[in-house]
Amino acid sequence: MPDYSLGIDIGGTFTDIVIFDHESGRQYSRKILTTHQNPAEAVIEGAGDLLRRNSLSARDVRRVVHATTLFTNALIERKGATTGMITTEGFRDVLEIGRERKYDLYDIGIMNPTPLVPRNLRREVPERTRSDGSIMTQLDIAALEREIDFLAGADVRSVAVAFLHSYANPRHEDQAAEVILKRAPGMYVTRSHEVACEIREYDRMSTAVANAYVKPLAGKYIDEISHKLVDLGITTPLLLMLSNGGLTHAEEAKRVPVQMLESGPAAGALAAGHFGLADGENMLLAFDMGGTTAKLSVVENGEPLIAYTFEAARQRRFIEGSGLPIRISTVELIEIGAGGGSIARKDEIGLLKVGPESAGSEPGPVCYGRGGVAPTVTDANFDLGALNPATFAGGTVPIDVGAAKAALAELGNSLGLDDAKAASGIYDIVNENMAAAARVHIAERGRDPASYSLLCTGGGGPVHGYQVARKLGIKRLICPPDAGVASALGLIIAPIRADRAATIGFRLRDHDLALLERALVDLQEKATQMIRDAGIKSEVSIHRFADGRFVGQGFDLVVPLPPGPYDQSDGDVRAELKSAFEQSYREKFSRTPPDIAIEFINVRVSVRASVSGNTVTPVSGGKATKNRGASRPVFFPDAGKYLDARVFRRDELKMGTSYDGPALVEEDGSTLVVGPEASFKVVPSNNIVVTIF
């Protein structure tokens, strides 16, 4: 019986859809422009077309996995639900006070992110819990009911309950949620300890409010896409990708949708690790460039690095502290305002600038003929010969190269350049922007980019990967099959995963190890239960972590811990825990301070389980006949001129085929550009490996 998996990744410009046949190893893919007013339309249209064109039966789809930028965009564009907040008396301004730190010290006109909840909808009630979890003031139910009535009268659809020190004792938040659901049954409720059971009130409140803000949208969208998939004949339960690279079931995603904010980039990083390991590559930079943004992440031994906080809706894209803090686990990556739709313009002092504004899919680049008037990176790539109008996006998007040239010529005239020089300037600037951001991201982690291979995915990654690699001093470039839809394929290989955290305040030298063990076991049980609720019965793997620091420090470092259990009678356990923290500390800072006690502020667990049908082994290439032998002129910045590049079709390349650049390798979702100072080879994994001289 056929066994198919369906991966769906909604991006800012394109929605990528992949169906993988686990029996034959064949992969069917489709890129379709994202329908922003109703993203489900593109999903159903694309999936239905893919099933029909390839004569596949919907009932043979055993697994559906979905990632989307919908909730991230709702935060950025402020298109979430009308949201209220109920908090401890005297604390409603925490969302605006924040950390009382300027993200740009010398900017006298600095603008902090506007809170998602306006001040009049942030309501206070008498109650107080101490930091040790003891109750100082009981929750005033009558006052709470008055505030609920006020919020309901203000047409609030979703409310965040964020009481002081609820991480230590959530009783008052649970009581408040019960009252809200009884008094305003249609109102969505988020309790802060459900989404971020950790110290630091501002971060916890910000995360709870963000979750409440997108919760109604998430519930409506997930229900709608589930029903439409059933209408299409696909009855298997929907799984959703989380920001940490794991999967969850639909009910959990609707409960805590804030966990999905970075789901698309996480899938791309997973795909990079999977394809890199196929060639024995343990040190990878995953470079994923789509229509709206480019993302870069560090992948070591097949696993992307994980961070435990990030910022949404930054006022300034590259400045930490300028966004809304969100306390979730997420693949650690840098997002660069450089995608195929990034708009080129002349700035105030007469220089050529590219991005971060994007044309997206509506109206899209000028060449799409959908109303775009400002030239973009994609327009420049067509003008330079890197892209083929006949094969772009599988031929599903009509391309008007003449319109792109006209828009580039108009921009060039304002700069004293012709269209070709304007296009080459755009191409070089966007490559340098991406390389510069990558240098900083890698250097902050104490790494050297030259020790990595660059694995490029997305519609634009293979187009720009060669030049980005050259700028970073990287000598090896890897392009997997169907690179343009690799994030959608990454969804299929992901495990189901649940991460949980709690504040503990544990002094390693003095406190009872039983306290640490109990806290970790409690988190493990909660995380494992979520996986069982998803219907997964396979064996789980448990990974323990702690946010540790030397006593007196103002920052924490998340470090992996030994597997446990931690027995008080075992004298070696404290030494193992101490060694684990100090090893991670030295990796980050080179040395440790002498004779300073260690404390664990938070503990974390990550529980993972494999899902049936997540083994992906694409069929090897080389079955088709010889290549066509066509060529076309392409501009290469390293040569400073147009050169004739041999054009290959990816599905016609035989195993072991090699060729010295310049060359282009085209497939429906993307085009690999191989420069004159490089050669490529199709290796047994079916990856194309580019060696840069």
pLDDT in the model for residue 629: 62
- Residue 624's pLDDT is 41
Q: Which residues pair with 66 in a beta bridge?
A: 8, 240
As a whole number, mean pLDDT of residues 210-231 equals: 94
If one compares 156 and 289, the residue with the highest pLDDT of the two is: 156
Residues of the chain with CATH 3.30.1490: 496-609
Residues 508-552 have pLDDT tens digits of 988 989 999 999 999 999 999 999 988 888 889 999 999 999 999
Tell me what percent of the residues of the chain surpass a pLDDT of 70: 96
Strand partners, 644: 633
Q: What is the pLDDT of residue 622?
A: 43
Distances (CA, A) of 236 to 48, 247, 338: 15, 15, 36
Task: Encode 115-155 in three state secondary structure.
Answer: CCCCHHHEEEECCEECCCCCEEECCCHHHHHHHHHHHHHCC
Query: Mean pLDDT throughout 391-396?
Result: 82
Q: What is the greatest pairwise CA distance in the chain?
A: 80
Instruction: Please write the tens of the pLDDT for every residue from 91-113.
Output: 999 999 988 888 888 888 888 88
Looking at residue 616, its pLDDT comes to 65
Q: Is 458 left (phi over 0), alpha (psi -120 to 50) or beta?
A: left
pLDDT in tens, 31-43: 888 888 888 899 9
Looking at the chain, the domain(s) classified CATH 3.30.420 span 266-304+430-493
Short-list 242, 294, 264, 312, CA closest to 75: 312
Q: Report residue 675's pLDDT band, with 50, 70 and 90 as the boundaries.
A: very high
The neighbour count for residue 119, using CB atoms within 10 Å, is 11
Per-residue pLDDT averaged across 377-396, rounded?
Answer: 89
Predicted local confidence at residue 150, as pLDDT: 97
pTM above 0.95, yes or no: no
Mean pLDDT calculated for residue range 638-642: 85
**Res. 625 pLDDT band, cuts 50 70 90:** very low
CATH number of 266-304+430-493: 3.30.420
d(C-alpha 646, C-alpha 657), whole Å: 13
Q: Mean pLDDT for the chain?
A: 89
Tell the CATH topology of 496-609: Dna Ligase; domain 1 (3.30.1490)
